[in-house]
Amino acid sequence: MANTILVGAQWGDEGKGKIIDVLTEEADVVVRTQGGNNAGHTVFVKKQKYVLHLIPSGILRRNKRCVIGNGVVIDPISLVEEIEGLRKLGVKVDGNLFVSETAHVVLPYHRELDAQREVLKGKDRIGTTKRGIGPAYGDKAARVGLRMIDLIQPERFSAQLRTRIRENNEVLKAFGARPLSFEKVNRAYLEAGRYLKRFVTNTVVLLHEALLRGEDILFEGAQGTFLDIDHGTYPFVTSSNTTAGGACTGSGVPPHRMDRVVGVMKAYTTRVGEGPLPTEDAEIGDMLHAMGREFGATTGRPRRCGWFDSVATRHAAMVNGIDEIAVTNIDGLDALETIKVCVAYRDGRKQYDYMPNDIELLSRCRPVYAEFPGWKTPTHKAKRWKDLPPKCRAYLKAIAELSCARLFIASVGPGREQTIFV
Ligand code: GDP
Ligand code: IMO
Ligand code: MG
């Protein structure tokens, strides 16, 4: 399969989990390289639903090694819960999961600060998942983070935690929040550390040994291009590099070992949380929500919905170097008479065919639409490209062309078998 980076080309929740699960069949190793348990990747295997937060979606295939790379921030309590949850569903985790020694740990003060900052921001809030992601990456950059290698060495961990809690309690008090008990946090985290110790290893060496053996690695992106800390709609973003470069820094695999980049995108657009979404539209949102679709996999919040935005996906193709695209949720558009696609933005008399960096300008921008006739036929049973209605194929070809990438996969349902290789 070659070493493949898979990224979200929109605002997250593009269906990456499903596509990863499909592509894992051909891979030897699957690696998460950024983000934390803010991610929620849904995979259906034989009607059983799995939602993965930290563990790569590749875990659902037998004997695939799954790595949580150095670029990820790990809430150890939540990782233990996720492993136990998978075990209960009969998924083999032991021997297949490897966790980087240098991945940073999310601590309770990160979660608390995440929540407090959102309250303080009021109407300007980001709408975070409140998983402590921003403060954890903040501590990493400020060089005051604790890492998995610390967590599995109790004495070292406790000493560092004591100092960190003392400092963070002062900040929490300033917010009017309850300070944390060192003893309580220490006890819970050491227990999680003892549990996780057997998974923690030098994942950079592990990945390079896999490369030397000629194995194929699949890099599982979390979030999406426009939630990237550098390339997204800042400040309404997450705190990691969700774009293709993050796969290198977050794993220790160098750029010249990457063979291709696959961008996953929905046949329309969704976003959960605040911030600009130029093609947001109640018509399509109400329709999808009435179908029971587009509720967040991590927080259960209804996702904001809009038409396909090719200005955004073209930008995503550019910053990620996307060669091929996987378009998901095509079946969500089956009932529509007419389907709109944004081809440019307009602010007053000025037209943009790229995404402006100025967030205020972007918020003012109105989409310029092209219209496509709907196919008004169910697509969820299609197995091959030629099974899709001609109008649906024309739509998919058009959005691929507008996104400047080659159509690779068309997905017509959440199941593995609802995947068309184009
Ligand atoms: P991720 O975060 O990118 O992995 O995406 P999520 O799992 O958060 O959200 C995508 C949702 O779309 C999940 O509920 C998937 O089961 C579902 N899904 C993925 N592809 C398809 C598809 O082609 N059709 C339908 N109906 N659902 C899909
Ligand atoms: P997956 O991997 C969609 C959004 C949050 C919020 C912003 C910042 O499932 O696609 P954070 O908690 O990261 O500080 O929140 O980013 N967000 C996601 N939206 N899918 C995700 O992950 C997301 N992870 C974070 O809603 O707007
Ligand atoms: Mg998701």
From residue 326, give the alpha-carbon distance in Å to each of 30, 246, 257, 265, 315. Answer: 18, 20, 22, 6, 16
Could you report the per-residue pLDDT of 44-100, keeping only the tens digit for each?
999 999 999 999 999 999 899 999 999 999 999 999 999 999 999 999 999 999 999
Residue of minimum CA distance from atom 26 in ligand 2? 273
For residue 5, give the nearest of 231, 385, 319 by alpha carbon. Answer: 319
From residue 232, give the alpha-carbon distance in Å to each of 148, 239, 319, 402. Answer: 28, 10, 11, 20
- The CATH code for residues 4-94+203-421 is 3.40.440.10
Token pair 């009607």 in the structure block, residue: 47
For residue 34, give the nearest of 228, 208, 325 by alpha carbon. Answer: 228
**Mean pLDDT over residues 360-369, rounded?**
97
Residue 296: pLDDT band with limits 50, 70, 90: confident
For residue 105, give the nearest of 125, 85, 76 by alpha carbon. Answer: 76
**Mean pLDDT over residues 105-127, rounded?**
97
CA distance 3 to 309: 28
CA distance 259 to 242: 18
Token pair 């036929």 in the structure block, residue: 377
CA distance 152 to 398: 51
pLDDT at 297: 79
pLDDT at 306: 98
State what percent of residues in the chain have pLDDT above 70.
100
Return residue ranges of the chain for CATH 1.10.300.10.
Answer: 104-199
For residue 13, what are the contacts with CB-CB under 8 A and spacing of at least 6?
A: 40, 224, 266, 270, 272, 296, 297, 303
**Mean pLDDT over residues 152-166, rounded?**
98
Could you report the per-residue pLDDT of 117-155, keeping only the tens digit for each?
999 999 999 999 999 999 999 999 999 999 999 999 999
Residue 1: pLDDT band with limits 50, 70, 90: confident
**Mean pLDDT over residues 365-369, rounded?**
98
Does residue 336 have a pLDDT over 90? yes
User: E strand or H helix at 80, and its extent?
Assistant: helix 76-88
CA distance 213 to 27: 13
**Mean pLDDT over residues 187-193, rounded?**
98
**Mean pLDDT over residues 161-175, rounded?**
97
Return residue ranges of the chain for CATH 3.40.440.10.
Answer: 4-94+203-421
For ligand 1, mutation pick of 328, 407, 418 (most atoms within 8 Å of CB): 328
pTM here? 0.97
* Residue environment code for 202-234, b if the CB has 16+ CB neighbours within 10 A, otherwise e: ebbebbeebbeeeebbbbbbbbbbbbbbebbbe
**Mean pLDDT over residues 329-335, rounded?**
97
- Ligand 2 center from residue 127 Cα (angstroms): 9
* Binding pocket residue ranges, ligand 2, CB within 6 Å: 8, 12-13, 38-41, 126-129, 131, 133-134, 222-224, 227, 238-239, 272-273, 297
Residue 379: pLDDT band with limits 50, 70, 90: very high
pLDDT at 218: 98
Say whether 13 is catalytic.
yes
Residue of minimum CA distance from atom 25 in ligand 1? 413
Does residue 298 have a pLDDT over 90? no
> Partners of 350 in the beta sheet?
347
Longest Cα pair distance anywhere in the chain, in angstroms?
Answer: 65
Catalytic residue among 21, 28, 41, 309: 41
Side chain identity at residue 288, one-letter code: L
| Cβ-based neighbour number of residue 72 at 10 Å | 28
Average pLDDT, the chain: 97
**DSSP conformation class of 302:** B
Given the candidates 3.40.50.1010, 3.30.1360.70, 1.10.300.10, 3.30.460.80, the CATH classification of the domain at 104-199 is: 1.10.300.10
For helices 310-320 and 390-402, what crossing angle results, to 10°?
50
Which residues, chain by chain, have CB under 5 Å from ion ligand 3? 13, 40, 297
**Mean pLDDT over residues 146-172, rounded?**
98
Q: CA dihedral in degrees (64, 68, 74, 80; nearest 10)? A: 20
Could you report the per-residue pLDDT of 280-295, keeping only the tens digit for each?
999 999 999 999 999 9
